[in-house]
Structure 1
Amino acid sequence: MPFARLASATTPTAHLGLGLAAVGRPGYINLGREEDLPADRSVDALRERTHELLEAAYAQGVRYFDVARSYGRSEEFLADWLNGRPDVDDVVVGSKWGYRYTADWRTDAEAHEVKDHGLAMYERQRAETAELLGDRLDLYQIHSVTPDSPALTDKELHAALAEAAAGGLSIGFSTSGPAQAEAIRAALAVTVDGEPLFRTVQSTYNVLETSAAPALAEAHDAGLTVIVKEGVANGRLAGPHAPEALRAVAQETSLGCDAVALALILRQPWAGVVLSGAATVNQLASNLHAAVVDLDDDQLSRLAALVEEPRAYWERRGQLPWH
């Protein structure tokens, strides 16, 4: 498993990764993008911002980088950086297939991405990813599996994924929505020739949305590496948008709300890699302080009181505008 390279790392940030969803395209649902990104959101401007983040993350010990076919040009930006840094040979690169980017580099597009978990989509996007990342790709994930996803029952797709795994690629899946736990458990049951197909799971878990935790613990116990995304809830747990209780705990620790929110996830025994979705180098630095946050029982209790009902959380997330 490529994640053994993370497990053996000695830096405090070894289990923090960097996801490029927020900088691989001009529009996304994260709060505060008006201040985070330059007025010029051209391809070249966001390529430069992405490379700044990758340089800063690598220098501070981050070794997992996460992209996707639907994250605009994130794979391209990451590939450019890797090609320019031949000395970087100790990172783990993960991407995802199953969504097609459709916004044509616009922030006001009617649809920014289209979902398709069919075999033809996999074959097309696998070729596209291979053209950009080649043998630097370690992990390929099905993007946002839900309980009704055909990817859970398509035997031809499973065979194609197993063939990729036999060639040395790790196969995983990500989840979204209020039924994450159900999707995780269904994916854990997928086998090819009696062997589990998936080696990783990437799910949303944060101070507000904890419903996937039992299933993620089961996945960890089954030998999967758990990757946690949206740890600051698309900006709802950072800066001025954070709930008062979180801001109070952050003040007590003398660190940012984002660092506290990510630290809570790092405490989970099943959490293998926790993603930062930073759009600026300062945000990244603040996120990485999560590795040194120490929370006491009283603080943990106050944070636990912020948990929302899953459907309410995902309904609110679905209403966030693309900025």
Structure 2
Amino acid sequence: MPFARLATATTPTCHIGLGLAAVGRPGYINLGREADLGENRSVDALRARTHELLDAAYAQGVRYVDVARSYGRSEEFLADWLNARPDIDDVVVGSKWGYTYTADWSADAETHEVKDHGLATYERQRAETDALLGDRLDLYQIHSVTPDSPALTDKDLHARLADAAAQGLTIGFSTSGPAQADAVRAALAVTVHGEPLFRTVQSTYNVLETSVAPALAEAHEAGLTVIVKEGMANGRLAGPHAPDALKAVAAEAGLGCDAVALAWILRQPWAGVVLSGAATVTQLASNLHAPAVDLDEDQLTRLATLTEDPRAYWERRGQLPWH
């Protein structure tokens, strides 16, 4: 694990990270946002909510925070929180570049983000991130790499990323889509001067979408830290929307469906950090019960029946409305 602050942490929740995708902008595809955020989604309201979540997460031992250029003002909100707490030096900060936020703080925008993995976008967004987070940034990831992404073959981009790594920044990538495993394996083959470029990988993995698991195990074996995102399947595994099998196991455990869903991921030997995408402190507290969940073989077998074909899973995800 490239982050000693995580590798040496002993708090049970230290390997649960907090992702700010759901609270850094007024619109997102997570189910239940009407109840989670309500009508007041002003910049000040979401800044305050983000800071409340960060305070609660830090108090409970969470030490990784994940943001992105396309998550509205997530970098700004995190930077404000860090700057107001100069004594906190043990938080690992990861951000991403490759998508540009275009919704202009509207939940009803026709286009919320635009993808571009070109060198010019990297240089622009790297400067934007640096202006906000400066030397507090630990990890910079290419956002949503797919097998056809030019970021996998652009040698000039690789050279710039290697330069950033030489200056102490950890370089990683995230994946999305039904061919995540192919993207992970292609990225593992990227080298600069004979050395692997990437040291972390962040992928979507949950009880519904498991197709990337073998590739993530290979990445872990190759020395990369694996970060798991969308463990709640954009709200599809949360209590009101969870399938019956998950609800039954959660009832047996006496905890929420969310805690069980995240516990299932934490069991994977290659899972370094599992992200909570909580939008409320109550959700976060429930998520953080995951390390205490002990699933038996019968429960694991029943949860395994929920796995979907990856193409069907991603098609359904693509149909979730921004709201």
Scaled by the length of structure 1, what TM-score is found?
0.99
CA distance in 2 between partners of 1:214 and 1:280 (Å): 33
**Could you report, residue by residue, the CA deviation over 1:180-217 in whole angstroms, capped at 9, with x for unpaired residues?**
00000000000000000000000000010000000000
Task: Give the 3-state SS of the residue equivalent to 2:288 in structure 1.
Answer: helix
AA aligned to 1:267 is R
Q: Which residue of 1 aligns with 2:184?
A: 184
Q: Provide the identity percentage.
A: 86
Correspondence 1:142-161 to 2 at 5 A: 142-161=142-161
Task: Give the 3-state SS of the residue equivalent to 2:100 in structure 1.
Answer: strand
Q: Which residue of 2 aligns with 1:128?
A: 128
Q: Does residue 112 of structure 1 match 2:115?
A: no
Q: Does residue 261 of structure 1 match 2:261?
A: yes
CA distance in 2 between partners of 1:2 and 1:315 (Å): 34
Counterpart contact for 2:2–2:199, Cα < 8 Å? no
CA distance in 1 between partners of 2:35 and 2:2 (Å): 36
CA drift at 1:38: 3.0
Q: Which residue of 2 aligns with 1:208?
A: 208
CA distance in 2 between partners of 1:74 and 1:125 (Å): 14
The answer for unaligned runs of 5 or more in structure 1 is none
Q: Which residue of 2 aligns with 1:140?
A: 140
Give the 3 Å change call, closer, same or farther, for CA 2–44 of structure 1 in structure 2: farther
Q: Which residue of 2 aligns with 1:220?
A: 220
CA drift at 1:165: 0.1
CA distance in 1 between partners of 2:69 and 2:240 (Å): 31
CA distance in 2 between partners of 1:51 and 1:91 (Å): 14
Q: Does residue 278 of structure 1 match 2:278?
A: yes
CA distance in 2 between partners of 1:307 and 1:13 (Å): 26
**Could you report, residue by residue, the CA deviation over 1:128-149 in whole angstroms, capped at 9, with x for unpaired residues?**
0000000000000000000000
Q: Which residue of 2 aligns with 1:7?
A: 7
Q: Which residue of 2 aligns with 1:292?
A: 292
CA drift at 1:2: 4.7
AA aligned to 2:38 is P
AA aligned to 1:64 is Y
CA drift at 1:39: 1.2
Scaled by the length of structure 2, what TM-score is found?
0.99
Q: Does residue 165 of structure 1 match 2:169?
A: no
CA distance in 1 between partners of 2:46 and 2:271 (Å): 30
Q: Does residue 58 of structure 1 match 2:58?
A: yes
- CA-based RMSD of the aligned residues comes to 0.6
Task: Give the 3-state SS of the residue equivalent to 2:86 in structure 1.
Answer: coil
AA aligned to 1:11 is T
The number of aligned residues is 323
Counterpart contact for 2:175–2:183, Cα < 8 Å? yes
CA distance in 2 between partners of 1:10 and 1:223 (Å): 21
Task: Give the 3-state SS of the residue equivalent to 2:18 in structure 1.
Answer: strand
Q: Which residue of 1 aligns with 2:46?
A: 46
AA aligned to 1:117 is H
CA distance in 1 between partners of 2:123 and 2:20 (Å): 23
CA distance in 1 between partners of 2:61 and 2:117 (Å): 34
CA distance in 2 between partners of 1:16 and 1:291 (Å): 9
**Could you report, residue by residue, the CA deviation over 1:70-90 in whole angstroms, capped at 9, with x for unpaired residues?**
000000000000000111100
Counterpart contact for 2:19–2:66, Cα < 8 Å? yes
Task: Give the 3-state SS of the residue equivalent to 1:29 in structure 2.
Answer: coil
AA aligned to 2:263 is A
Task: Give the 3-state SS of the residue equivalent to 2:17 in structure 1.
Answer: strand
Following TM superposition, the consecutive aligned residue runs of length 4 or more in structure 1 with deviations greater than 6 angstroms are: none
CA distance in 2 between partners of 1:34 and 1:284 (Å): 17
